């Protein structure tokens, strides 16, 4: 009962947020620059939340998320530009292929741990990028022309679905299995959890939504180029998760929103942007090594009184 009330609460907030922005856009009160920022914000939230599932929830230090972003971007662009499919179908296709890529990468590499996994995923992401770089069908290094089809509606709905599904996954026996793996893989295994299965599942779901983000990204900028999906992009996404607090979905969302603002305002000074990014990271590591929210969710902040009451 209570839980479904909370759900409807969020649903109403989301709907109002969407409607307000959409109304402002329809009345021409949000110029293209800010529309772009809003869509980029949604893309970053999707990327952050999907990587949060892999790193924050399941504890698998994968740092090649840009690879799956690239798969979603290129596959969806092929679908709309070469095959003439509708945008919504193209998003789904991009996501599904990104998920398959996630399975392909995840099945061999998730047997590795810690640093080795990080290096393997980073390597795979580079391979994916270099494959696109060398396929003339998608324009090679020059990139691929893509029509602008991403709108606030697509971006917002994609983000809402990403958050809803990943939060539903996390708050179920499947999510608990993933958290158990993060906490103590040997104990999780000994309690009957098929650890490989859940690591791969989390990775696949994370890749799927990185693919959705990729599709919306590709159709927002008129052109996609392999250089946009290098390891710096993977690093950008990683920062969102670390800054938000490993293990906190709302932390990842807040960090994505915050850093989109920061980088939009610093767009004119790309060097400064990297310096500020690095400074932010260093400061977080020094003063808040668990990230902004740690493993807490923003909703926990409102629960203090209740918790005090049940303590024995």
Partner 1 sequence: MSTLLKVDSLGIQFGGLKAVQNVNMYMENGELIGLIGPNGAGKTTTFNMLTGVYAPTEGTITFAGKQIQGLDPYKVTRGGISRTFQNIRLFKELSVLDNVKVANHSLANHNILSSIFRLPKHFSGEAKMEEESLAFLKIFGLDVYKDELSKNLPYGMQRRLEIARALAAGPKLLLLDEPAAGMNPQETKELMDLIAFIRKEFDLTILLIEHDMNLVMGICERIYVLDHGQLIAEGTPAEIRSNPKVIEAYLGEEVAD
Q: Which residues bind partner 1 (CB under 8 A)?
A: 165, 168-169, 172-177, 179-180, 183-184, 186-195, 201, 247, 295, 307, 310, 312
- Burial tier of 112 (Cβ tally within 10 Å: 0-12, 13-18, 19+): middle
Cβ at position 202, least distance to partner 1 in Å: 10
**Residue in the block written with tokens 């679905």:** 161
Cβ at position 6, least distance to partner 1 in Å: 13
- Whose Cβ is closer to partner 1: residue 146's or residue 180's? 180
- Whose Cβ is closer to partner 1: residue 55's or residue 73's? 55
- Whose Cβ is closer to partner 1: residue 220's or residue 250's? 250
- Whose Cβ is closer to partner 1: residue 27's or residue 304's? 304
Cβ at position 281, least distance to partner 1 in Å: 23
- Whose Cβ is closer to partner 1: residue 49's or residue 146's? 49
Cβ at position 50, least distance to partner 1 in Å: 13
Cβ at position 189, least distance to partner 1 in Å: 4
Cβ at position 42, least distance to partner 1 in Å: 20
- Whose Cβ is closer to partner 1: residue 162's or residue 263's? 162
What is the distance, to the nearest Å, from the Cα of residue 189 to the centroid of all Cα atoms in its chain? 28
Residues 6+ apart with CB under 8 A from 158: 42, 46, 91, 212, 213, 216
């Amino acid at each position: 009962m209570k839980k479904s009330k909370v759900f409807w609460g969020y649903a109403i907030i989301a709907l109002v947020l969407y409607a307000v922005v959409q109304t402002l856009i329809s009345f021409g009160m949000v110029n293209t620059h800010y529309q772009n920022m809003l869509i980029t914000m949604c893309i970053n939230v999707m990327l952050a939340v999907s990587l949060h599932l892999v790193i924050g929830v399941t504890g698998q230090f994968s740092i090649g998320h840009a690879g799956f972003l690239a798969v979603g971007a290129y596959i969806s662009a092929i679908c709309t530009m070469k095959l003439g499919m509708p945008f919504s179908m193209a998003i789904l296709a991009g996501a599904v292929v990104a998920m398959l890529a996630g399975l392909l990468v995840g099945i061999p590499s998730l047997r590795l741990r810690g640093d080795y996994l990080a290096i393997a995923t980073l390597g795979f992401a580079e391979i994916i990028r270099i494959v696109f770089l060398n396929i003339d069908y998608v324009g090679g290094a020059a990139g691929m022309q893509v029509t602008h089809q991403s709108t606030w509606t697509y971006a917002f709905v994609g983000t809402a679905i990403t958050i809803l599904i990943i939060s539903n996954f996390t708050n179920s026996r499947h999510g608990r299995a993933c958290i158990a793996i993060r906490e103590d893989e040997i104990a999780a295994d000994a309690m009957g959890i098929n650890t490989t299965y859940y690591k791969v599942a989390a990775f696949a779901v994370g890749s799927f939504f990185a693919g959705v983000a990729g599709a919306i990204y590709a159709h927002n900028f008129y052109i996609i180029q392999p250089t946009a999906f290098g390891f710096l992009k993977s690093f950008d996404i990683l920062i969102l998760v670390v800054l938000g607090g490993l293990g906190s979905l709302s932390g990842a969302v807040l960090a994505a929103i915050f850093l989109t603002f920061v980088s939009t305002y610093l767009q004119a000074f790309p060097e400064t942007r990297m310096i500020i990014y690095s400074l932010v990271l260093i400061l977080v590591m020094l003063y808040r090594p668990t990230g902004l929210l740690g493993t807490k969710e923003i909703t926990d902040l409102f629960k203090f009184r209740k918790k005090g009451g049940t303590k024995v």
